[in-house]
Structure 1
Amino acid sequence: MARKRTSQSRPIFDPASDQSPVAGSGFGTNPLDPYAAEDAVSGGLQSRPNEIIGGDSRRELREQVQALCPPVPGVYGMFDRTGELIYVGKSSSLRNRLLSYFGQSAAGEKAGRIIENARAIEWETQPSDFAAQLRELELIRRFIPRFNVQGVPQRQRPVYLCLGRKPAETFFLANSPPEKDLVAVEGPFYGVGRMSRVVDALNKTFRLRDCSNQTPFLYADQMSLFDLQPRAGCLRLEIGTCLGPCAAACSRQEYLQRVNEAESFLDGFHSEPITATQEIMEAAAANRQYELAARARDTLRSLNYAQKKLGNLAEAREHYSFIYAATGYDGRAIWYLIRRGEVVDVAAAPTDTAAYRNLKPRLKQWAVRLTAPSSRTVSDYPYTVSIVASWFRKHRGELKQTFAPESAGRRYRHLTRVAAG
């Protein structure tokens, strides 16, 4: 397969489609690229430089990467002989990362398996490493390439820990955050197995139901036409791990109190589930119930993972509400509006007085958004909080590139000079 440049006139992938992109079709529009609209007006359909190479051997692919791929931030996709996207990755230096796939050290690793199946490589440059991380996760969520999610425990498909589903709220997992009927949602977390253990432990600790939403629920303070004694749908009421909203064993207020306590665990401030699981493990070990102790140990590890991740997310939500000016190596710096740790809007960084004047109405809207009452369940990009939390934890110096919308007038000239440098 010969090298092939992307065409400005070819169709791009429709993000509303469920199909995977075909080699050479591009990755589609980027919702967090503010320059896309400008490029579309100027006649281009792809908002970022995009290129594809192909070959029937590792040597052909390596030679083309060495000759054509730039050492700049970006994302890349690997396609097999049928043109199916099998892997998406990112790097602060595309050229160096792609060349590493052809080294001897990668032969027996995951990278070796990927490149053995690859017949084409497509890359899309990004203005910064931060932008590349956001784009990579967006593409993985959209296309779910098989090498990103299968057989690799560290990169399993993300799941979200949700609390909701009236009339009797419960913890549950979702591949993407539901749009309604939620009290709170956090994530993403990785590892469906361990997060399932977390959900089971949380529902038992806070005595929330875990049955189907088709179960009839009746609270003790609800009126009933008939004087019937409802029966619990399972044994959890009898053993004390559920309040029994299906059997009128609690009032709505009593159940909501436990829901509120459960929500505090998502804030990273409640250790009752970990303490309870620790006690179960120690008691089982003392009584030589080794299978029960082993299950409790696995659950404890899962809860510790979830609590650590929740702590990081809580820190981001508490402290990260500002504009972040991410430097663009190509002069295309981006201003990200980050609210409670999530990227909620983007704008092209102004480079002159006229551009700043055009941006001022939007900056006023951003100031209102940052001061609006907080909502834990409504967001266009909930998955970005994990990237934001990790980014500023690893790059504390980047906090100097943040500011409030009200300070944009004093900061933009300085930040644009820094970006240009």
Structure 2
Amino acid sequence: MDAIFNTDPQLGFGTDPLYPYSLRPIDVIGGKCKRQLRDQLTQSCPRVPGVYGMLNPKGELIYVGKSKSLRSRLLSYFADSNAREKGGRIIEGTRAIQWETQPSEFASLVREQQLIRRFSPRWNVKEVPKRQRAVYLCLGRSPATFFISAVPPQDCQAIEGPFFGANRMNAAVDALNKVFKLRDCGQKQVFQFSEQMQLFDLELRPGCLRLEVGTCLGPCAAACSQDEYAMATSAAESFLDGFNHEPLVKLRRQFDSAMQNRQYELAQRHHAAIKSLEYVDRKLAMLNRARRRYTFVYNVAGYDGCGIWYLIHSGEIAEAVAAPRNAPERRALMPTLKRWQKTTADHLHRGHGTYPYTLSLVASWFRKNREELAESTFVPGDVVKSRPNGAKATSGITA
């Protein structure tokens, strides 16, 4: 086992960009059977927060998880009642377990998300019944169009997510492009707006039938101006911001019309599109509520003294620093806090920073832990009035 599972603390899970202290050591145990693994866990695994990974006989990481108590969580995999459940199936294929302690449950949650995105262990993303991979709803570069992507491109005009269910999201994208009359062709398509001059008087033909049926503005056939297409793009952006419910209103109107005219197949297609957009609309409302409400510093104490201040900006984790434990450390942190103050002063910023995927994590965490909003958050400008250990400071928001 030693040849495969190196216990060097510099290896293991790798770097953690949102952990401001030195890299935490990795503990690894291995065994030829479940009993050996359980006995070693009982002897060495602590009852503290952290993340853990299951490795198969080849040394491949097959599952990543987190817990408030590593010992209790890992021992639960060996319970007889868990034998036929997901945990029992995972442990059957496990020959080594490694874990990394974390100072808090929130830090464990953040670390787990990073590791799943970095390693994509098969039991986290593929072999879980009904598990769906995350995708993002993107509004691409001009002339804009809606599309979905697991890894959004850097040049998008707007991005929101994550959403789940590729088929459902593809149906939503198709409906959105038709409602806002945005193109759905590739960037290789030649675009010609009505105000663009031509050397010869050529009749431009659209690249598809959508212009003829009235579901596209036709930027490829000089059927609209750049300003007209920009207005449609702006309306699409307002939908992503949660302020425009036109797609649902229009589709419901089309559904009612189809039903009245006994066009049942058409009504069925509209109904499927409505269901997809209702999911997107609900998720957008939740995500944008988090973007509007959650801009502050979140102070998370550590059981081992490794407290962390997370800058939450527009609902996303933007940065993390070690929580100051005394006045000198707080003074040394002032330049960073002044920079954070400038960042959070931009109330029109929609996020999409370095870690946009943390939005859903933050929204879910504060939905379940509402008391944390009042007890452990503050705006950067108030830190000079907080106590040196960074305990409770003025929140600036309400639960």
| TM-score, scaled to structure 1 | 0.87
Cα gap change, 1:308 to 1:118, in 2 (>3 Å): same
SS at match of 2:78: coil
Task: Please say if residues 83 and 89 of structure 2, whose CA atoms lie closer than 8 Å, have aligned partners that are also in contact.
Answer: yes
Letter matched to residue 405 of structure 1: P
Partner in structure 1 of residue 397 of structure 2:
none
Cα gap change, 1:270 to 1:73, in 2 (>3 Å): same
* Segment drifting more, 68-77 vs 80-89: 68-77
Matched, 1:407 2:382: yes
* Segment drifting more, 265-274 vs 364-373: 364-373
Partner in structure 1 of residue 150 of structure 2:
175
Matched, 1:132 2:108: yes
Task: Please say if residues 242 and 281 of structure 2, whose CA atoms lie closer than 8 Å, have aligned partners that are also in contact.
Answer: yes
User: Aligned-pair distance for 1:106?
Assistant: 2.5
User: Aligned-pair distance for 1:300?
Assistant: 2.3
Cα gap change, 1:412 to 1:347, in 2 (>3 Å): farther
- Flag structure 2 segments of 5+ consecutive residues without an equivalent: 394-399
User: Aligned-pair distance for 1:416?
Assistant: 4.1
Letter matched to residue 337 of structure 1: L
Matched, 1:6 2:10: no
Task: Please say if residues 70 and 93 of structure 1, whose CA atoms lie closer than 8 Å, have aligned partners that are also in contact.
Answer: yes
Matched, 1:216 2:181: no
Partner in structure 2 of residue 273 of structure 1:
247
For residues 362-410 of structure 1, what are the alpha-carbon distances to aligned partners after superposition, in whole Å with 9 as ceiling and x for unaligned? 1111111112474447511111111111111111111121111121122
Letter matched to residue 148 of structure 2: L
Cα gap change, 1:57 to 1:280, in 2 (>3 Å): farther
User: Aligned-pair distance for 1:263?
Assistant: 0.6
User: Aligned-pair distance for 1:172?
Assistant: 1.1
Partner in structure 2 of residue 74 of structure 1:
50
| TM-score, scaled to structure 2 | 0.91
SS at match of 1:237: coil
User: Aligned-pair distance for 1:177?
Assistant: 2.5
User: Aligned-pair distance for 1:184?
Assistant: 0.8
Partner in structure 2 of residue 98 of structure 1:
74
For residues 206-240 of structure 1, what are the alpha-carbon distances to aligned partners after superposition, in whole Å with 9 as ceiling and x for unaligned? 11011111111111111112211111111111111
Task: Please say if residues 274 and 300 of structure 1, whose CA atoms lie closer than 8 Å, have aligned partners that are also in contact.
Answer: yes
Matched, 1:314 2:315: no
- What is the alpha-carbon distance in structure 2 between the residues aligned to residue 142 and residue 220 of structure 1? 46
- What is the alpha-carbon distance in structure 2 between the residues aligned to residue 71 and residue 5 of structure 1? 23
Which of the residues 330, 338, 342 maps onto 1:364? Answer: 338
Which of the residues 58, 64, 74 maps onto 2:34? Answer: 58
- What is the alpha-carbon distance in structure 1 between the residues aligned to residue 266 and residue 68 of structure 2? 46
Which of the residues 299, 306, 310 maps onto 1:325? Answer: 299
- What is the alpha-carbon distance in structure 2 between the residues aligned to residue 90 and residue 111 of structure 1? 13
| TM superposition outliers: structure 1 runs of 4+ over 6 Å | 2-5
Partner in structure 2 of residue 120 of structure 1:
96
- What is the alpha-carbon distance in structure 2 between the residues aligned to residue 239 and residue 49 of structure 1? 62
Task: Please say if residues 75 and 135 of structure 1, whose CA atoms lie closer than 8 Å, have aligned partners that are also in contact.
Answer: yes
- What is the alpha-carbon distance in structure 2 between the residues aligned to residue 392 and residue 417 of structure 1? 17
Task: Please say if residues 33 and 346 of structure 1, whose CA atoms lie closer than 8 Å, have aligned partners that are also in contact.
Answer: yes
Partner in structure 1 of residue 273 of structure 2:
299
- What is the alpha-carbon distance in structure 1 between the residues aligned to residue 260 and residue 208 of structure 2? 29
For residues 32-61 of structure 1, what are the alpha-carbon distances to aligned partners after superposition, in whole Å with 9 as ceiling and x for unaligned? 00013xxxxxxxxxx124211111222222
- What is the alpha-carbon distance in structure 1 between the residues aligned to residue 176 and residue 211 of structure 2? 15
- What is the alpha-carbon distance in structure 2 between the residues aligned to residue 377 and residue 213 of structure 1? 26
Which of the residues 2, 6, 16 maps onto 1:30? Answer: 16
- What is the alpha-carbon distance in structure 1 between the residues aligned to residue 124 and residue 57 of structure 2? 18
Cα gap change, 1:271 to 1:246, in 2 (>3 Å): same
Cα gap change, 1:315 to 1:97, in 2 (>3 Å): same
User: Aligned-pair distance for 1:302?
Assistant: 2.1
* Segment drifting more, 271-280 vs 237-246: 271-280
- What is the alpha-carbon distance in structure 1 between the residues aligned to residue 17 and residue 314 of structure 2? 19
Whose helix proportion is higher, 1 or 2?
1
Task: Please say if residues 351 and 416 of structure 1, whose CA atoms lie closer than 8 Å, have aligned partners that are also in contact.
Answer: no
- What is the alpha-carbon distance in structure 1 between the residues aligned to residue 47 and residue 257 of structure 2? 57
Over aligned residue pairs, what C-alpha RMSD do you find?
2.2
SS at match of 2:386: helix
Between the aligned residues of both structures, percent identity stands at 54
Cα gap change, 1:110 to 1:296, in 2 (>3 Å): farther
Residues 193-212 of structure 1 aligned to structure 2 (within 5 Å):
193-212=167-186
- What is the alpha-carbon distance in structure 2 between the residues aligned to residue 163 and residue 250 of structure 1? 19
User: Aligned-pair distance for 1:307?
Assistant: 1.4
User: Aligned-pair distance for 1:4?
Assistant: 6.9
Task: Please say if residues 220 and 249 of structure 1, whose CA atoms lie closer than 8 Å, have aligned partners that are also in contact.
Answer: yes
Task: Please say if residues 81 and 118 of structure 1, whose CA atoms lie closer than 8 Å, have aligned partners that are also in contact.
Answer: yes
User: Aligned-pair distance for 1:6?
Assistant: 2.6
Partner in structure 2 of residue 21 of structure 1:
none
User: Aligned-pair distance for 1:247?
Assistant: 1.0
Letter matched to residue 211 of structure 2: L
